Chains A and B, each alone.
Chain A
Amino acid sequence: MATTTAAQKDERMAQTGLITRLLRSPELGALAGAIVVWVFFAVVAPNAWFSLRGTATYLEVAASLGIIAVPVALLMIGGEFDLSVGSMVGLSGAIMAILASVMGMPLWVGALVALVVALFVGWLNGIMVVKTGLPSFIITLGSLFIIRGLTIGVTRLITGRTQIGSLDDMPGFTMMRYIFAVDIPVMGANVSISVLWWLLIGAVAAWVLLRTQVGNWIFGAGGAAQAARQVGVPVNRLKIALFMTTATAAWLLATIQVITVKSMDTLRGEQLEFQAIIAAVVGGNLLTGGYGSAIGAVLGALIIGMVRQGVVFAGVSADWFQVFMGGMLILAVLINNYIRKRAEAARR
């Protein structure tokens, strides 16, 4: 009895059609875009593009954006923006480097302190957004400037400079390198461990979003916060947790960068917030919240990473990269709107 019902239902579901279901999936556009971009550079710069080293390079570029873009996408689906992620990369790096080089603490202690501070700043962003009810765009634009200014000001006050180098001489560097910056040899090419971090974050985020209770809450909170609240979703706590997640991602990227280049620069992460939002939007996430995909954000970061590195491989001036990013953003929003209208209005 139970099996016949299930079989009947499966049959009916199949009738919905693969095309309809594909069109309903938010990351479709990003997947198509990634293929187009890959093929484009395969034609334009085949030598570098087909080499494992070339691949490892553009994957690393994509990873450093994707680590941020995926949590930013979750937050966007939850209905909020975080423009302060880039400045939080600078802040986390500065805390780590100052504690190590000025106070003589092991790097991992500095990293832990930086994590606590990042979590606190994320919490503060979240609290301000849910308590004031102001657009998070404004609140985090404010924190962007406050955090960046404080980072530069305090670093200069303590060290007299805005950069700190030779961090590989600090205690605890080797251990940190194995977690955050080691290269993994794959068939002769060196793939940065940050690529693994990026894919891991993407996989976990996709699982949380699509297969857990919290994921359903994120869609609900972003789709219609009041409606979600009224069926018992803890919308405020959820949003605060999402802001803390983007802050944690900023901290992770900061740690990876500090350990990889063995130095700290207070300006690190500039404009990252915009690139992360572009990657999320290119990945099919709606600016208005309630709809989107973590896999889409992974693909969005991949597209931007491929273009950024592909432009170098093709020997074109890097200026064109910015033109591409802007054009891509507008195109993606147009496609997203079309897909959303289909999802909302298409009758069965």
Chain B
Amino acid sequence: MSTNNIPRVEVRNISKYFGNVIALSDVSMAVRAGEVMCLLGDNGAGKSTLIKTLSGVHQQSEGQYFVEGEEVRFNSPRDALNRGIATVYQDLAMIPLMSISRNFFLGSEPTKGIGPLKRFDIAFANRVAHEEMAKMGIDIRDPSQPVGTLSGGERQSVAIARAVYFGAKTLILDEPTAALGVKQAGTVLRYIAQARARGLAVVFITHNPHHAYAVGDRFTILKRGRTFGTFTKEELSREEMVRMMSGADELDALTHELQEFEHTDQLKAEGKLSETEQQLSDKLG
């Protein structure tokens, strides 16, 4: 799928310590253009720490970081943005009380006029926000409405649309589907596939193996700050992936536990849900 062999973003043997806490230890990983790399792992595995290093929020304690083959060391998220690395965060992607267009352009406001009359070009911001959202199939009636009035999936989509609009070449998504319902997660997954088709390199963090399998090309699995390695879709079946993500023993224990609840209504509902998710991911995959 890739046209270029030099990875857009690559880390070699990086470690990250927070005082005594070893959040990452000797992790290597690379993402190429037109590829979705899924970063998988349990809570506290170090996924967020890894992508915060990629996006300039943290600096690695050890190891090397390359962007398009060139070694870099970022001091701020701005540095990473300037190299085309945009990140959409788990929970704080948007500011709810600000309008859609103000959120869309926060930090990179379009201006017109010169000197003391230099001002925020709101008409332009409203128009672009409206157009970019329309391209994603989300029809916002009024770009000056607060982001808080959007659904969770729409909010994530605004953040992704923003990154793409600002010329991101590498898109990093930290659990964008975590808080979303099936349908809204589908919207976000579709947009990830679209970003890949446009030639972006995507790093996608998720806890949901179905979401990962639906859009992922390669999978890097982290556990307690270490990597299990990177696998392609051919090398890793969905079942294997689920096992690796949760740990085989834990999964067996869980299966046993769940069997005891087999006849409750709750499980029925959950069973239905994962069936729908399965269908959805099959469609997208």
Q: Which of chain B's residues has its CB closest to A14's CB?
A: B142
Instruction: Point out the residues of chain B lying under 8 angstroms from A6, CB to CB.
Output: 127
Chain A min CB distance to B124 (Å): 12
Q: Does A12 contact B (CB under 8 A)?
A: yes
Instruction: Point out the residues of chain A lying under 8 angstroms from B102, CB to CB.
Output: 216, 219-220
Q: Which of chain B's residues has its CB closest to A286's CB?
A: B97
Q: Does A18 contact B (CB under 8 A)?
A: no
Q: Is the CB of B141 within 8 A of A12?
A: yes
Q: Does A199 contact B (CB under 8 A)?
A: no
> C-beta contact mask, B70-113 vs A, less than 8 Å → 1, else 0?
00000011100100000101001111111000100111110100
A16 CB contact (under 8 Å) in B76, B78, B145: B145
Instruction: Point out the residues of chain B lying under 8 angstroms from A232, CB to CB.
Output: 76-78, 81, 107-108
Q: Does A131 contact B (CB under 8 A)?
A: no
Count of residues in A whose CB is under 8 Å from the partner chain: 37
Q: Is the CB of A228 within 8 A of B106?
A: yes
Q: Does B122 contact A (CB under 8 A)?
A: yes
> C-beta contact mask, A217-231 vs B, less than 8 Å → 1, else 0?
101100110111111
Q: Is the CB of B106 within 8 A of A212?
A: no
Instruction: Point out the residues of chain B lying under 8 angstroms from A228, CB to CB.
Output: 95, 106-107
Q: Tell me if B's interface is mostly helix, strand, loop or mixed.
A: loop
Looking at A207, A215, A219, the one whose CB has the most chain B CB atoms below 10 A away is: A219
Q: Does A1 contact B (CB under 8 A)?
A: no
Size class of B's contact patch?
Answer: 35 or more
Chain B min CB distance to A144 (Å): 29
Instruction: Point out the residues of chain B lying under 8 angstroms from A3, CB to CB.
Output: none
In the assembly, what is the distance between CA of A344 and CA of B148, in Å? 5
In the assembly, what is the distance between CA of A14 and CA of B227, in Å? 54
B97 CB contact (under 8 Å) in A21, A229, A290: A290
Q: Is the CB of B87 within 8 A of A230?
A: yes
Residues of A237-283 at the interface with B, using a CB-CB cut-off of 8 Å, are none
Q: Which of chain B's residues has its CB closest to A2's CB?
A: B127
Q: Does B237 contact A (CB under 8 A)?
A: no
A/B interface sample: 6 pairs, CB < 8 A: A21-B144, A24-B145, A213-B118, A220-B106, A232-B78, A348-B149
Closest 7 CB pairs of A and B: A223-B95, A231-B107, A344-B148, A232-B107, A213-B109, A227-B92, A232-B78
